[in-house]
Amino acid sequence: MKVIDKGRGGFKIRFNYQVDLSATTIRTLALKDPDGIVTTHDMTVADTTWVEYLVEDWDFDKKGTWTYHAFVVAPTWRLSSIIYTIIVTEIYEEVT
């Protein structure tokens, strides 16, 4: 499990499927926010067996527990990753 600050981007989420991904036509990252809303993002093939997504500053925009997984689809097969958890915190929380 990873912990990041809300609004932090610029890092990559990567998956190694250990098979040649050159035939894949769909490479998707699914993010589920703390409210249960799922967004999907296109991933790129980073190496023969790796896919990756460069996280933008607005991707993790809510404090709380997020889950994410990836899936890839080729003409004759499909693969999915396990589900991972990431905790999003705020560095500066307003004191009341």
pLDDT score of 83? 96
Pairing label, strands 2-5, 84-89: parallel
pLDDT score of 2? 82
Structural domain spans, the chain: 2-89
How does pLDDT run across 34-45, given as a tens digit for each residue? 999 999 999 999
Q: What is the mean pLDDT of residues 7-27?
A: 93
| Partner residues linked to 66 by β-bridges | 86
The pLDDT confidence band at residue 4, using thresholds 50, 70 and 90, is confident
User: pTM score, two decimals?
Assistant: 0.85
In whole angstroms, give the CA distance from residue 76 to residue 61.
36
pLDDT score of 92? 61
The pLDDT confidence band at residue 9, using thresholds 50, 70 and 90, is confident
- What superfamily would CATH give domain 2-89? Immunoglobulins (2.60.40.10)
Of residues 68, 63, 33, 66, the one with CA closest to residue 53? 68
